[in-house]
Structure 1
């Protein structure tokens, strides 16, 4: 049994990784955390943006829809580049991309230009994940990969916590433009990555074997749809699509629900979101530990089922204490079902197509998530309970699909990531 707990004669799990392995993981962690800050800050300022440009709220929700859709473009491009030239280069490009786009969005003089730059931000945002996830998971030892996958993916919650804290503390002083302009700061991490991060040994060896055997994988996106792994690809896509819909049904419109339905102040909106994300980060580590003991699937199925039950408690009450308390609790469940995304996707696909496969399966889910904002807003505008009922139906329905898909998916706990070519490929 693969466990993060130490067996007799083993070193503690945190001493097993080398310095280079820690640096690679930290680089991916920073990239995803700062990516989350740049994206989620927009979820908190959709109402003031609509008021500032005097456009309907549903048009502003369309901005994050297009941003989500363009993530797939960035993910496929970055995944291909990461499988061809290494994990490090596309990671740096992606961080620079989404940082600069957020700066230009904050300076945009019109809604059309804001729409354009936030849409383009989606390409950089999508590009970060496949490169960062492959870099971290290929570098990390098998024994504690589930735990560190949870803490890596959970860093999205830290980014959301930072954006909600910035919103609560700074919005009244610098406005929505200032909050977007803050998003240029992640660009500074690129210098550190360029100097200190090394490519994973498993990828370096895999590329050497490809060249030596004249078996270059020049179109990895096509390879993941070959019959041998098509079923795995389809199930991974269904799992990620349902997970994305859950996330944007729970978190995507929650701030808008508090602003429009309950008419709460910036500080009152920010507090439960910040605390729920802190809980989600900690819970992602806990469920990651569970994943290393009982398996990747159960570490996601259990919190998803519990989270579906928690959902009504923060949607159908006017009591701020209950709303805040239940939403913070949700962070431990539906807020933490994503921790195995890096490990589970990395373990389901071979090295030669790993970044492309992970990027595509993960970010095609963003296409479905992109519908949640406009659809929930449409139904909220046409019935008396506002966002509560649409958010409930979408959350519980997607959670059910999430659980069923995982029940029929393979278990990968303890799988070694190897450099050998495992897909049959035509000679170049």
Structure 2
């Protein structure tokens, strides 16, 4: 290849990488939009359908349950049908049921439609983790994927802005407006390439199944792979085969369950806690969250940069270690200024820096032959932690006090999150995925 041809190829690859990141950011932003618009429209929905707070809790549990199941389904689907196919499928189904929300007339219609819309929208995360990290250059993998994760606060702003603009036309209209950008992104996503690593895995499976040793040897030379493990199947390799893959999965599962359980206190019920325990108004709490989320976009990038420089596991360690102690201090202080400062740091540790480094870390922790189902499993574990945290929050507030709930979920489980990160494998950044795990 001549110097001119090499330059042209590099430029074409660079343009494609930029296009891939833009499409992924837009998709994750719209998934965030779909999730946060439910929070914003909840009072209007409760008023129209005359729902009690207890019934709203049931709605949230149904939505979480759907997200849990669909994350597992999407992991399996990526492994069998392909990354791009599942990316398109998730977005189109999310668009369909987001639009159908406009027409619901009963609580159970609402529950089913929102469960499917939110479930497939959140499944976007597992697919983008897998496909994007398999296609971007290894030397910038963490930084580039942190940009994708930064789509979450963008979605929060989209949801808030559109609700303010068209909310006066009725809460249903807000969902209807969400369909248009979802379809546009789906059209743009049709130009995305399938992951070469998945195509290689698919070809290897076919060669092994047909006992074509010559093709197996050729594919092994292209990308090393443990051929013996292909006979076991992805699920068996993950859960039933002793070794580094299962050990890594167990350690990541514990860390992410602790993370998302503690996340409930500082991100899901934080407005209630601030207004009830600290005497804030709902407007003050909303302003704090808006500022934290807006500036938080840059902390996703900051987490990605730190991960490239010092290692993504080390960013997770520092982020995780901060959560429990800061939540304890947050409980003890009363000054509005100190509460705001401490919460801002906690917010960035539980969102920006953790996510900016953590999801690229998930992708590089597993070999290609099990990456999709492993990442799908981790997506389910995040939702599982939210379900556990919400259940604990309800029980502890019923049998104890709000302070007890904060101490157990925000402080004790936050400390457990920090401890769990020390047991994660330390992966040197900048390596090709096949160098990390085969």
TM-score (norm 1): 0.83
* Residue among 163, 177, 201 paired with 2:196: 201
Mapping 1:151-166, distance limit 5 Å: 151-166=147-162
Q: Once the two structures are superposed, what CA deviation does each residue of 1:256-283 show, in whole Å capped at 9, x if it has no partner?
A: 4467776845x65543222212232211
Aligned to 1:7: none
**C-alpha distance in structure 2 between counterparts of 1:412 and 1:48, whole Å:** 47
Return the offset for 1:379. 4.1
Aligned to 2:385: 368
| Alignment check: 8 A CA contact 1:78 1:90 kept | yes
| Matched position secondary structure for 1:333 | helix
1:408 maps to 2:423: yes
Aligned to 1:173: 168
**C-alpha distance in structure 2 between counterparts of 1:26 and 1:153, whole Å:** 11
1:55 maps to 2:69: no
1:224 maps to 2:233: no
1:291 maps to 2:286: no
* Residue among 326, 330, 335 paired with 2:346: 330
Return the offset for 1:93. 0.9
Structure 2 stretches lacking a partner, 5+ long: 1-6, 210-226
Return the offset for 1:28. 2.3
Aligned to 1:3: none
**C-alpha distance in structure 2 between counterparts of 1:206 and 1:358, whole Å:** 16
Return the offset for 1:230. 1.8
Aligned-pair Cα RMSD in Å? 3.2
| Alignment check: 8 A CA contact 2:363 2:375 kept | yes
More deviation, 122-131/309-318: 309-318
| Alignment check: 8 A CA contact 1:237 1:361 kept | yes
Larger C-alpha radius of gyration, 1 or 2?
Answer: 2
Return the offset for 1:181. 3.4
| Alignment check: 8 A CA contact 2:328 2:411 kept | no
Return the offset for 1:26. 2.5
Aligned to 2:321: 305
Query: Closer, same or farther in 2 for the Cα pair 1:238/1:227, shift >3 Å?
Result: same
Higher helix share: 2
| Matched position secondary structure for 1:357 | helix
**C-alpha distance in structure 2 between counterparts of 1:407 and 1:211, whole Å:** 39
Aligned residues: 405
Mapping 1:137-286, distance limit 5 Å: 137-167=133-163, 169-170=164-165, 173-185=168-180, 186-194=182-190, 196-214=191-209, 219-225=233-239, 226-228=241-243, 229-257=245-273, 264=281, 268-286=284-302
| Alignment check: 8 A CA contact 1:32 1:128 kept | yes
* Residue among 398, 404, 415 paired with 2:413: 398
**C-alpha distance in structure 1 between counterparts of 2:197 and 2:42, whole Å:** 43
**C-alpha distance in structure 2 between counterparts of 1:33 and 1:84, whole Å:** 26
1:91 maps to 2:105: no
**C-alpha distance in structure 1 between counterparts of 2:248 and 2:47, whole Å:** 45
| Alignment check: 8 A CA contact 1:43 1:253 kept | no
Structure 1 stretches lacking a partner, 5+ long: 1-10, 423-428
